[in-house]
Amino acid sequence: MSILVVGSVALDSIKTPLARCRDVLGGSATYFSMAARHFSPVSLVAVVGTDFPAGYARLLERKGIDTSGLMYEKGKTFRWEGEYGWDFQNPKTIATHLNVFSHFNPSISARHKKCRNVFLANIDPRIQEAVRSHIKSPRLVACDTMNYWIESKRSRLVHLLKKMDIFFLNESEARELTGESSIVKAAKYIRRMGPQAVIIKKGEHGSLLFADNYVFSVPAYLLENLYDPTGAGDTFAGAVMGCLAGAKRLNRRALKMAVVYGTIMSTFAVESFSLKRLASVTKSDIEKRLRLFRKLTLF
Amino acid sequence: MSILVVGSVALDSIKTPLARCRDVLGGSATYFSMAARHFSPVSLVAVVGTDFPAGYARLLERKGIDTSGLMYEKGKTFRWEGEYGWDFQNPKTIATHLNVFSHFNPSISARHKKCRNVFLANIDPRIQEAVRSHIKSPRLVACDTMNYWIESKRSRLVHLLKKMDIFFLNESEARELTGESSIVKAAKYIRRMGPQAVIIKKGEHGSLLFADNYVFSVPAYLLENLYDPTGAGDTFAGAVMGCLAGAKRLNRRALKMAVVYGTIMSTFAVESFSLKRLASVTKSDIEKRLRLFRKLTLF
C-alpha cells in the first residue's frame, strides 16, 4: 500500500567538526521519502521556491518518489543552517529562513486523499490536522513534532494526537509534553492521549516502542564514522512507516521489524551530508546491515 | 571459581527529587559483591573506620560474602554525599570525606592471593597495580576507573591497563582517555592499550561490549520507577565478573550473557536506596527479569 508524507523539502547548510556543506537537499519529507521508498510507494507533499534546483527534484523522481505534490511557489525555498559539535548531537541552529514554507498550505489531490497510510512530519499541528481531515479512509496515520509546537501550540497538538495511530518523538519532547521524568510513564501518558503506539527516538542510543501490552527496546547500530546526523529521525520514521504500509497486518511482529528497519535505514542517513549515501542504498545493503545488527544485539 | 574485589565500603548520604537518606551502606566493593554473590563466591577487601555499623558488616556476611578482608582502622568510614536532579543522572557531589580510605593500603591475605578472578574497583591506579602484582595465577583481572584518575594519573592508568583483561568505563571516560569522539574508535584504541575486552557503561541507555572481532550492544532494561542510581555501575560489574568467574570458558557466549546479567542486576540496584532491594533479590527474581528482558529486546 502506498504512503503519503506531508512535510518540508529544504536546502540545508551544515557544519560539523569534520566538514561543511551549503544548500544541499534536506527536509523532513525528503529524508522520509528516501527511506520509505524501499518498502512502499511514496507520495510527497511539500512546497519549494522557484530557486529549488531542478537536479534535486529529478533525484527524487528518479528514486521512484511521486513528486506530483511538490508545489513550487514564488520565492525562496526553506533554508536551515546548523552546526554540530564533537558530540554530533543537538545541532546549534545558526539560521532558519522559512521563506515559502512560512505560509505552507498543502493542497491534497484527489488521488492523495485516497492514500490510506499517512505521515505528518514536523509542521504546525494545525496544518497536520487539516491534512488528516482530508484523508478519506485512513488505515495508519502517524506524526512527528518538536519542542517548539509543544511549547507554543500544546492544545492543538493534544487535539491532533487523539486522531493519531503512531506518534514519533524524542525523549526530551516526551518529558516536556507529559511532565513525567520517567520515559515509561511518559509513554503511557501519551498513549492515553490517543496514539496506540508511541515511538521514542533516542538518537545514537536507539529507540523504544510502546504499544498494547508490550515495550520493545532497540539499541542503536554502531557506526565507526558518523558524518552528519541531520535527517536521521525522519529517515527512521520513513522506514518504519514504509514497512508498516507494506505490512499485511499491523501486529506486534510488524511493528517490531518496522522499528528495526528504521534503525538500519537511519545509519545510512548519517554516513554522508544530505542524501548522498541514503539515495544510493540498495536492498542488499539494507539486508546486509540487518544481519550485522542481529549479530550485534542477539543473546 | 571465586572472585576477589578490592574497592570501597562507604556510608552514603543521598538526595533525589523523591527522597533522601543518610549514612546508608554504599561503596563500590559493596555493590559489586552483592551482585557477584549470585554467580560466584566473593571475597571483599576494603577498609572502614571504627564507626562502621556492625549491622552493615553482618548484612554482608549473612549474604555469604567473605569479609575477612574488611579492615577496620581507627577513624571514620569513607563518606559520600550526593544529590540527583530529575534526570537521575550525574549526581552533584555535595561532599566527599575519604577519612580512613585516604590512606587505603590493602593487605592481601595468602588465601586471597590465590584468587584467580579479580576486580579492581575505582581507586588510585597505583593501588590497583599493587594489588594486581600480588595475584599469583590470574585468570581474569578487570578494573574500573573514573575521570579523576584519567586526568591526574593517566600514565599510571595506562601502565595498569596493559595487565587488564577487561576494562569497565563509561562513555565520557572512554572519550577523555582516548581523545576519540567515536565510541567505536575509542574502544578500539583502548583494546590496543591492553584489555581484550572493553565494556562501555551507558547508564539508562545500556552498555556496549567490544572484544575480539565482535561488538555486542545491550539496551537498558526499562524501569518505570527509578529510585536511586547510586551503585548501578558497580552492581553491573559485579554481575559481569561473577558470571565470568563462574563460566567454564571465557568465550563470546559467556561474555555476552555476563553483560546481560550485569544489566539485569543493575536494575535491582536502582530500585531502592543503598542495598535494600539488591540484598533481597533471589535467583528466581533474576531469571524472571531475564525472561522479560528477552521479550523486551528480541526481534
Quote the CA–CA distance of A217 and A141 in Å, as a whole number: 22
B204 to chain A: closest CA residue: A205
Residues of A in contact with B215 (CB under 8 A): 222, 296
Which pLDDT band holds residue A230 (cuts at 50, 70, 90)? very high
Please choose, from the candidates B45, B76, B39, B78, the residue with its C-alpha nearest in 3D space to the C-alpha of residue B60: B45
Section B153-174 average pLDDT: 97
Which pLDDT band holds residue B17 (cuts at 50, 70, 90)? confident
Contacts of A201 (CB under 8 A, 6+ apart): A168, A169, A170, A171, A207, A233, A236
Contacts of B212 (CB under 8 A, 6+ apart): B196
Read off the C-alpha cell for A59: 533525484
Residues of A in contact with B219 (CB under 8 A): 206, 217-219, 297
Evaluate if residue A181 carries a pLDDT over 90: no
> Which CATH number goes with the domain that contains B157?
3.40.1190.20
Residues of B in contact with A182 (CB under 8 A): 223-226
Evaluate if residue A87 carries a pLDDT over 80: no
* Domain hosting residue B159, numbered range: 3-297
**Is B260–A86 a contact, with Cβ atoms under 8 angstroms apart?**
no
Residues of B in contact with A294 (CB under 8 A): 299
Q: Which of A267-271, A295-299, B248-252 has the lowest mean pLDDT?
A: A295-299
Quote the CA–CA distance of A283 and A265 in Å, as a whole number: 11
Mean pLDDT, rounded, of chain B: 96
Q: Which residue has the higher pLDDT, A134 or B225?
A: A134
Which pLDDT band holds residue B45 (cuts at 50, 70, 90)? very high
Task: Report pLDDT for A90.
Answer: 83
**DSSP 3-state assignment of A64?**
coil
Evaluate if residue A112 carries a pLDDT over 80: yes
Task: Report pLDDT for B217.
Answer: 95
Total number of domains constituting chain A: 1
**Is B206–A219 a contact, with Cβ atoms under 8 angstroms apart?**
yes
**Is B86–A257 a contact, with Cβ atoms under 8 angstroms apart?**
no
**pLDDT (tens digit, 9 = 90+) per residue, B112-136?**
999 999 999 999 999 999 999 999 9
Task: Report pLDDT for B90.
Answer: 83
Task: Report pLDDT for A218.
Answer: 94
Helix (H) or strand (E) holding A154: helix A154-161
**pLDDT (tens digit, 9 = 90+) per residue, B52-88?**
999 999 999 999 999 999 999 999 999 999 999 887 8
Evaluate if residue B267 carries a pLDDT over 90: yes
Q: How many CA atoms within 13 Å lie on the side-chain side of B238?
A: 32
For chains A and B, CB pairs below 8 A equal 76
**pLDDT (tens digit, 9 = 90+) per residue, A7-31?**
999 999 999 988 999 999 999 999 9
Task: Report pLDDT for B11.
Answer: 98
**pLDDT (tens digit, 9 = 90+) per residue, A114-127?**
999 999 999 999 99
Quote the CA–CA distance of B261 and A39 in Å, as a whole number: 36
